[in-house]
Structure 1
Amino acid sequence: MRTKLNEIIKNGHLGMIAVFFIVYMITFSYIEDRDVHHYIIHTTIDDQIPFCEYFIVPYLLWFLFVAVTVFYFMFFNKNQWKEYYQLIITLGTGMTLFLIISLVFPNGQDLRPVLTGDSIFIKAVQMIYHTDTPTNVLPSIHVFNSLACCGAILKNQRKYKKSTDTACVVLTILIIMSTMFLKQHSVVDVVLAALMYTGCYRIIYGNELWSQNAFRTSIFSDHS
């Protein structure tokens, strides 16, 4: 792990991620603060999905899921830099497309219910509602990043693959469901995120650039 950390620092990987994250947050803050008309994303299917506060558990687990997945591919994936870059570029592409869509098509949702009760789950949902505005929700980054992490894990070869793959799929499904049952996202947000991930997957994981032989001759060949 120390060897990989030294290599990551030496080649500026952490710096690139940090710069992207800073630019992303600055742009996202600008988008959130704009005084523009937001197109409401709302379908009749959304009205049929009941609110369920217990889905706050998988919703919050998303943060840990993404962080642990990136950490694993960065430090513990047997020097398979190809898979690490595929994951990072997929995540970065999805988040960048999200910013572009939000810039050109300001959007929001009106699905959130009036919360009652004082359970720990309700309080957690209230915290999310308070910190995360119901604007710029299309597509769902929760869904896109979950699918990106799940796809990377399913393709990865490692010990205990069957059990960890099963846990990964179950968690991904629960996270996707949580976005709708917590009224954080419309079905439209979820579907668009899934379609966007499918397109990114076909390009990033299916392109000849990412074949093992071609990767050795790419700009990252010294890390393979």
Structure 2
Amino acid sequence: MRKLKDFITNFFKQYRHIWILSYFAIYLVWFNYLEKMVTTHFHVIHVPIDDYIPFCEYFVIPYIMWFGYVAWGITYTALHNKNDFYRLCGFLFTGMTIFLIVSTLYPNGQYLRPYYFSHHNLCTTLCEWLYSTDTPTNLFPSIHVYNSLGIHFAVMKSEELKDKKTVRILSFILCTSIIMATMFIKQHSVFDVSTAFILAFVMYNLVYVRNWSKLPQSSAGHLKDKKRLPQV
């Protein structure tokens, strides 16, 4: 028992920077409030190109994989590089907060989902489950798209992953698949995707280009190398 207690104590001493993940508690409370409040009276999101994108239930697989993709990205940076972790959280949390503010001030939703499925399989069953748990409201900018881009940016900027070509390629494939999935399973309009790209472009320049790229190279590195870590 003492060894377990010492392990937990040492873990939180070494990785005390993960406290900022408490932001998710604020996000989830706010988001759930919007999901309950925005149900019927909202501004409809729709652009003509939406009507030309066919429904394809198989894209529900990468759509659901988004949860694991984001969790992996946050966990990996938290355990391997504190500066990468701060960059990623700054990117994600800023965009997620903007999304909440937009949804609060401009309630929005869509009517893109199919009314019924002409055939049934595992993927349509997953879509039915998804539709029943996630309302077609609070859509833009698409957090699925925005956070996917954020994780991929973190992968591409990671010193630990710069020589891991397979990981970088797989990240690109999954990121692209998730973005496509938002439209092909009719969870989002092209408008939601486009606004997510615009916001991601702005935040990429703020987080990775203008400010954070000016950090001393010596401040980056593996968390195991304590001498290279900035003090908190």
TM superposition score category, shorter chain reference? 0.7 to 0.9
Residue 188 (structure 1) aligns with: 191
Aligned with 1:169 (options 163, 172, 190): 172
Deviation at 1:162? 1.5
Match of 1:221 in 2: 230
- 1:112 paired to 2:113: yes
Are 2:44 and 2:109, in contact at CA under 8 Å, matched by a contact in 1?
A: yes
Structure 1: where are the runs of 5+ without partners? none
Q: Secondary structure at the match of 2:89?
A: helix
**Count of aligned pairs between the two proteins:** 213
SS in 2 for 1:110: coil
Structure 1 residue 158: Cα displacement? 3.0
Aligned with residue 56 of structure 1, among 48, 60, 70: 60
RMSD: 2.2
Give the C-alpha shift of residue 22 in structure 1.
1.3
Give, in whole Å, the separation in 2 of the partners of 1:185 and 1:90. Answer: 21
TM-score, normalised via structure 1 length: 0.88
Distance 2:123 2:215 in 1: 46
| Aligned counterparts of 1:14 and 1:201: Cα–Cα separation in 2 | 22
1:86-127 CA-partner distances (Å, limit 9, x unpaired) = 001111011101001101111001100023233110010001
Alignment of 1:100 with 2:92, yes or no, is no
Q: From the superposition, tell whether residues 21 and 155 of structure 1 become closer, same or farther in structure 2 (CA, over 3 Å).
A: same
Cα 1:112–1:173, aligned 2, differ >3 Å: closer, same or farther?
same
Q: Please give the secondary structure, in 2, of the residue aligned with 1:113.
A: coil
**Aligned match for 1:137, one of 136, 139, 146:** 139
Q: Note closer, same or farther for the CA distance 1:186–1:150 as it changes in structure 2 (3 Å cut).
A: same
Q: Is the 8 A contact 2:87 2:212 kept in 1?
A: no
The answer for the alignment partner of 1:47 in structure 2 is 51
> Match for residue 36 of structure 2?
33
CA-to-aligned-CA distance 1:126-156 (integer Å, 9 cap, x gap): 0110000001111100000000000110111
Q: 1:176 to 1:73 in 2, by over 3 A?
A: same
Partner of 1:198: 201
Partner of 1:149: 151
**Structure 2 equivalent of residue 7 of structure 1:** 14
> Which sits farther off after the overlay, 180-189 or 21-30?
21-30
Instruction: Return 5+ residue gaps in structure 2 as ranges.
Output: 1-6, 220-228
Percent identity of equivalent pairs:
38
Return the offset for 1:38: 0.7
Structure 1 CA distance, aligned partners of 2:46 and 2:114?
Answer: 14
Deviation at 1:43, TM superposition (A): 1.1
Distance verdict in 2 for CA 1:211–1:197, change over 3 Å? same
2: CA distance between counterparts of 1:129 and 1:210? Answer: 41
2:225 is matched with which residue? none
Q: Which amino acid aligns with 2:87?
A: Q
The correspondence of residues 60-75 of structure 1 with structure 2, limited to 5 A, is 60-75=64-79
* Structure 1 segments (4+ residues) deviating >6 Å: none
Letter in 1 for 2:92: L
Q: Does 1:121 align with 2:154?
A: no
The alpha-carbon deviation at position 33 of structure 1 amounts to: 2.1
Q: In the alignment, does 2:214 pair up with 1:211?
A: yes
Cα displacement (A) at 1:212: 2.4
**Counterpart residue type for residue 208 of structure 2:** Y
